[in-house]
Amino acid sequence: MKLFDLDKWHEIYYALRKNPWRTFFTAFGVFWGIFMLIIMMGAGEGLYNGASNDLGDMSTNSVFMWTRRTTLPYKGFPRGRFFRFNNDDTKALIDNIPEIKYIAPRLQGWSRDGNNNVVRNERTGSFNIQGDYPEINLIDPVKITQGRFINHNDINDLRKVAVIGISVFQEMFEPDEDPIGQYLRIQGVYFKVVGCFQSKKNDQQAERDNQAIFIPFTTLQKVYNYGDMVGWYSITARDDVRVEVVETRAKELLKQRHSVHPDDDRAVGSFNLDKEWSKMTNLFNGISGLVWIVGIGTLLAGVIGVSNIMLIVVKERTKEIGVQRALGAAPMQIISQIIIESVMLTAIAGYFGLAIGVGILEAVNYGLTTSGANSNMFMNPSVDFNKAMWALGILVLSGIFAGMIPAQRAINIKPIDALRDEV
């Protein structure tokens, strides 16, 4: 049978049209299966986008380390001793751990605690003052809206420059004012504004970031008498190395340098972002797997319905099939006709399920965008094109298999028996 035989397509059309309600409810099972699969996939993607967007462009292969009180006595030092990282620790980490890609020593000068620490003319404000290296913008990037970020010349020359968050700009400057080149008095010392930034994160963390002022790490140490103290480290491992390796080696080195017991697991605190990100990724992978199981199960239920209806169709057309066989129709012609009818039914229903599902996701996304709703847990629900094609491929294969059993039954009908059949 030719695939584009117009008479055969008319025959299929009239066969489906003969019982419209039966055809509709059969197709609806397939429609609902792929529709639910697309909706659940899009919803899962929306949840994933919401969770990952909270991190902005932060490097997930990172670890953050700080000091805490010791819990074990060691080398004559009592338990409960407090110690600080220093500049020599930074050099030791760089020299001894080649797996480190970026390292950013950090100091917090003052936090936003209600006391005004920044003055400009008649305006005052309370902001988070951070001493940083340029590498911090590679580990936890911000969007530079004006000017530039801190560079190594600022570090080496102990320059009194500042990069301010968007909230700082809004509070300390007029809306149409250019902050670049202006001065802010921070804890009694004047700093020149060289850049303005906006956080790439969402929710409260973004608000906190936007209320920060970055100044060179070495300048904060020198001007405000912090000596060689380092508050904490932000460290990113090389792309081919897990950050757990760097975390373990860094802790061992820092414990050794500060005479901390090797078994004291609390003296050096850390937050492994890669480990937390892996937990979240595994959770969403599990959700994605569950979506596919439920969606395909629902889809297959619809396809089984198609197969059952095609068995009924074959039974109803027993005489017709007998006549075709008696007139010399080859078994493959009968099989092709039944399978094409099955695939056509599933494909049309699946197409509408896919199209309407994607349309609803786009409508939800448009509604979230235009309404200005700040939903940090759900954003940009969408379906990957490749996954949608996989779903359609599964649907077409299912349609073929759905027609195989009825087609096999059709060719097993003997022409003489079919012609005598009264049904």
Q: Encode pLDDT of 331-348 as tens digits.
A: 666 666 777 777 777 778
Instruction: Report the pLDDT value the prediction gives residue 338, as an integer from 0 to 100.
Output: 72
Please check whether residue 74 is in contact with residue 261, taking contact to mean a CB–CB distance below 8 angstroms: yes
Strand partners, 153: none
Average pLDDT, stretch 98-123? Answer: 85
pLDDT value, residue 409: 67
* Residue 65 β-bridge partners: 233, 270
Specify whether the CB–CB gap between 155 and 134 falls below 8 A: yes
pLDDT, mean of residues 203-231 = 89
**What is the spatial distance between Cα 174 and Cα 176, in angstroms, rounded to a whole number?**
6
SS3 readout for the chain:
CCCCCHHHHHHHHHHHHHCHHHHHHHHHHHHHHHHHHHHHHHHHHHHHHHHHHCCCCCCCCEEEEEECCCCCCECCECCCCCCCEEHHHHHHHHHHCCCEEEEEEEEEEECCCCCCCEEECCEEECCEEEEECCCHHHHCCCEEEEECCCCHHHHHHCCCEEEEEHHHHHHHCCCCCCCCCCEEEECCEEEEEEEEEECCCCHHHHHHHHCEEEEEHHHHHHHCCCCCEECEEEEEECCCCCHHHHHHHHHHHHHHHCCCCCCCCCCEEEEEHHHHHHHHHHHHHHHHHHHHHHHHHHHHHHHHHHHHHHHHHHHHCHHHHHHHHHCCCCHHHHHHHHHHHHHHHHHHHHHHHHHHHHHHHHHHHHHHHHHCCCCCCCCCCCCCHHHHHHHHHHHHHHHHHHHHHHHHHHHCCCHHHHHHCCC
Tally the C-alpha atoms within 13 A of residue 383's C-alpha that lie toward its C-beta.
29
pLDDT for the residue numbered 113? 63
The confidence band for 392, taking pLDDT boundaries of 50, 70 and 90, is confident
Binned at pLDDT 50, 70 and 90, residue 423 comes out as very low
Share of the chain above pLDDT 70, in %: 79
Q: Say if residue 4's pLDDT is above 60.
A: no
CB-count exposure of residue 167 (10 Å: 0-12, 13-18, 19+): buried
Give residue 2's pLDDT. Answer: 47
Rounded-to-integer distance, Cα 423 and Cα 412, Å: 17
- Of residues 249 and 292, the one with the higher pLDDT is 249
- The CA distance from 266 to 80, in Å, is 11
Please tell me the distance from the alpha carbon of residue 143 to that of residue 198, in angstroms, as a whole number.
Answer: 5
Q: pLDDT higher for 322 or 225? A: 225
> What distance in Å separates the CA atoms of residue 158 and residue 152, rounded to the nearest whole number?
10
Task: Give the angle subtended at the CA of 417 by the CAs of 412 and 422, to the nearest 5°.
Answer: 115
Contact between 109 and 220 (Cβ < 8 Å): yes
Least confidently predicted of 131-140, 165-174, 273-282, 305-314: 305-314
To the nearest whole number, what is the mean pLDDT of the chain? 82
Mean pLDDT over 248-272 rounds to 93
Return d(Cα 198, Cα 332) in angstroms, integer.
66
Lowest mean pLDDT, pick from 241-245, 268-272, 324-328, 386-390: 324-328
Closest to 247 (Cα-Cα) out of 135, 137, 99, 139: 99
Across-strand partners of 62?
Answer: 236
Exposure string for 65-90, b = 16+ CB within 10 A, e = fewer: bebeebebebeeeeeebebebbeebb
Q: Which of 26-40, 336-350, 392-406 has the highest mean pLDDT?
A: 26-40
Instruction: Read off the pTM.
Output: 0.69
For residues 253-263, give the mean pLDDT. 93
